C-alpha cells in the first residue's frame, strides 16, 4: 500500500473524517457555487447547517451531467458550478464527449494533487512497484486519463507512453524494453492477444506480468478476465474513474475481488436505484447506480453526482488489508436495455456468453430490434465463434438457455464466424444503436 495508515483505516473512522470534510465542502459550496446555492435553495436547504451531516446526504438532491451542461453560457463555458477564480486554476481537461458535446473540468493545484494521489493508490493496489516499467496505451493528452498517467510517476514507475493506434510499436516496446506492466482498455488487451497470436509473437512469454485495464467494464468479468490472463500470461486487475469526479478513483488489488476506493477521503460513494433515485445502503452484495460526492474539491466540486455506472458492492474484508467498499462495474446505465421489465446490461450478456469459451471468441453485439431502451423479447444477440469453430445450432440453443436462466430474459442468438465483429484499440461497442 502507498499509504497503509489511510488505506487500512477502519471504514467507520474514514466516514467520521469524511463527515468533517463534507461539512466544510458544503459550506464552501454555499460560499462559492452559484449552481449549488440555487439547487440546494430550491430543495429548501438554505445553509450548510441545514444540509446536516454526511449520514443525511441522501436528503440532498442528485446532480445530473445534463444540469451542468445546461448552466454553460457564452460568458461561462465551464458552467455555474465553477467556484474558483481564473488564477486558482492550473489545468482544464475536456471530457471525451462520447455522450454529447465536450465539457470542461477545471482543477486547482490541490485538486490535481488529490486526483493523482487517489489514482496512485488505485494503481498501486494492483501490485506495481517503484522501479518497474509500465507501458501505457492511452492517447490521454487532452483527457482526464492524463492525470492517471501522472500517478505512475507518483508510484515511482518508469512510464513508457506509447498511445493508441500503433500496435506494432507497442509490441516492439514490450519486446525490447521489457515492461513488467501494461495499462490499456480491456478491449485493446483482448485485441492484442489475437493480434500477437496471428503474428506468432509470444505474448505469454513476454516480460509483462500485470495488465491493468480501465476505461470500460470487462476486466472484472470472470470469463473475459480468464481469457486475458491466459493470453497475456499475466495478472489482470481493473481500475475505474469518472471524468467529472476524478480519474482511477477505484483500483483492484491482487485478490481480484472488486475495486478499492483509492480516492477515499477525497470522494464519498453512495448507491441509488437508477429509476427512483432512492438511496440504497452500501451493504455487501447491494447493486445500483454509483453516486459520488467531492469532499475536498475546489475548482468545480460536485455533490451527489450520478455517474451512470451500475455497480455491485462488496463490504467484506479483503485479504490485502484495505478497508471500505469495493465495487465491480456491471455496466453503464446508458447501455442498459429493458426487455419486458428486466434490466439488461450488454456486459452481463457478454459475461454469460464468455462462459462458453473456448467455443466462443468472447465478442458479442446486442442488436435491438427497435430504437430506445424498451425492447420486446427475444432480444437479438450476435455471438462470435472462436477461430475454427463451425456454426452449430445446439451451441446457439445452449447459449440462449443459459442467458435465459442467468439473466431472466429471452434472446435470439445468432452465431457468427470468428473475425466478424469489430475489434477495438479503445472501447468496444456492445450495442448496435
Ligand atoms: Zn484488496
SS3 204: coil
Number of Cβ within 10 Å of residue 53's Cβ equals: 12
Cell of 76: 461561462
Tell me whether strands 133-136 and 181-184 are parallel, antiparallel or unpaired. parallel
| Ligand 1 center from residue 196 Cα (angstroms) | 31
225 near 142, Cβ under 8 Å?
Answer: no
Q: How far is the CA of 208 from the centre of ligand 1 (A)?
A: 21
Give bridge partners of residue 93 from the DSSP assignment: 105
CA of 335 to the centre of ligand 1 (A): 28
Q: Which of 154, 142, 125, 117 is nearest to 267 (CA)?
A: 117
Q: Report the distance separating Cα 209 and Cα 56, nearest Å.
A: 44
Q: How far is the CA of 116 from the centre of ligand 1 (A)?
A: 20
Cα of 324 to ligand 1 centre, how many Å? 10
pLDDT at 218: 84
Q: Please give the average pLDDT of every successive group of 10 residues along the chain, which has 433 residues.
A: 96 97 98 98 96 97 94 93 97 75 91 97 97 90 82 96 90 97 94 94 97 89 92 97 94 97 98 94 95 98 96 96 95 86 88 92 91 91 93 94 92 94 80 84
CA of 326 to the centre of ligand 1 (A): 8
The alpha-helical segments, DSSP class H, found in 260-356 are: 346-354
Four-residue CA torsion sign, 257, 214, 101, 30: positive
The total of other beta-carbon atoms located within 10 Å of residue 72's CB is: 16
Is there a contact between 179 and 186 (Cβ–Cβ < 8 Å)? no
Q: Calculate how far, in angstroms, residue 126's C-alpha sits from the geometric centre of ligand 1.
A: 9
pLDDT at 79: 95
CB of 304 closer than 8 Å to CB of 57? yes
Amino acid at each position: 500500500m502507498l499509504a497503509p495508515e489511510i488505506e487500512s483505516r477502519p471504514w467507520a473512522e474514514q466516514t467520521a473524517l469524511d463527515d468533517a470534510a463534507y461539512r466544510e465542502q458544503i459550506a464552501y459550496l454555499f460560499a462559492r457555487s452559484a449552481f449549488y446555492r440555487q439547487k440546494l435553495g430550491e430543495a429548501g436547504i438554505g445553509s450548510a447547517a441545514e444540509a446536516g451531516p454526511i449520514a443525511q446526504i441522501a436528503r440532498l438532491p442528485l446532480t445530473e451531467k445534463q444540469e451542468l451542461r445546461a448552466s454553460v453560457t457564452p460568458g461561462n463555458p465551464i458552467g455555474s458550478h465553477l467556484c474558483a477564480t481564473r488564477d486558482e486554476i492550473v489545468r482544464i481537461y475536456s471530457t471525451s464527449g462520447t455522450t454529447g458535446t465536450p465539457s470542461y473540468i477545471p482543477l486547482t493545484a490541490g485538486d490535481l494533487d488529490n486526483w493523482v494521489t487517489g489514482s496512485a493508490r488505485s494503481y498501486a493496489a494492483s501490485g506495481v512497484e517503484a522501479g518497474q516499467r509500465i507501458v501505457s496505451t492511452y492517447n490521454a493528452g487532452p483527457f482526464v486519463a492524463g492525470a492517471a498517467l501522472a500517478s505512475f510517476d507518483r508510484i515511482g514507475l518508469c512510464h513508457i507512453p506509447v498511445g493508441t493506434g500503433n500496435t506494432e510499436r507497442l509490441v516492439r516496446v514490450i519486446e525490447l524494453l521489457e515492461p513488467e506492466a501494461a495499462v490499456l482498455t480491456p478491449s485493446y488487451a483482448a485485441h492484442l492477444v489475437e493480434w500477437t497470436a496471428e503474428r506468432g509473437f509470444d505474448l505469454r512469454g513476454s516480460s509483462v506480468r500485470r495488465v491493468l485495464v480501465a476505461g470500460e467494464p470487462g476486466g472484472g468479468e470472470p470469463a473475459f478476465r480468464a481469457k486475458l490472463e491466459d493470453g497475456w500470461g499475466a495478472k489482470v486487475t481493473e481500475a475505474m474513474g469518472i471524468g467529472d469526479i476524478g480519474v482511477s478513483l477505484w483500483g483492484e488489488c491482487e485478490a481480484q475481488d472488486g475495486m478499492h476506493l483509492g480516492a477515499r477521503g477525497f470522494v464519498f460513494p453512495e448507491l441509488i436505484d437508477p429509476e427512483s433515485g432512492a438511496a440504497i445502503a452500501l451493504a455487501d452484495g447491494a447493486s445500483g447506480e454509483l453516486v459520488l460526492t467531492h469532499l475536498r474539491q475546489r475548482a468545480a466540486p460536485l455533490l451527489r453526482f450520478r455517474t451512470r455506472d451500475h455497480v455491485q458492492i462488496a463490504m467484506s474484508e479483503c485479504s490485502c488489508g484495505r478497508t471500505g467498499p469495493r465495487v465491480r462495474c456491471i455496466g453503464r446505465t446508458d447501455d442498459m436495455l429493458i426487455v419486458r421489465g428486466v434490466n439488461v446490461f450488454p456486459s452481463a450478456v457478454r459475461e454469460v456468453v464468455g462462459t462458453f469459451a473456448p467455443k466462443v471468441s468472447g465478442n458479442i453485439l446486442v442488436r435491438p430490434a427497435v430504437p430506445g431502451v424498451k425492447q420486446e423479447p427475444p432480444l437479438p444477440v450476435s455471438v462470435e465463434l472462436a477461430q475454427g469453430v463451425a456454426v452449430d445450432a445446439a451451441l446457439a440453443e445452449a447459449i440462449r438457455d443459459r442467458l435465459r436462466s442467468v439473466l431472466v430474459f429471452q434472446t435470439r442468438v445468432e452465431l457468427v464466424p470468428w473475425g466478424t465483429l469489430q475489434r477495438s484499440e479503445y472501447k468496444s461497442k456492445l450495442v448496435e444503436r
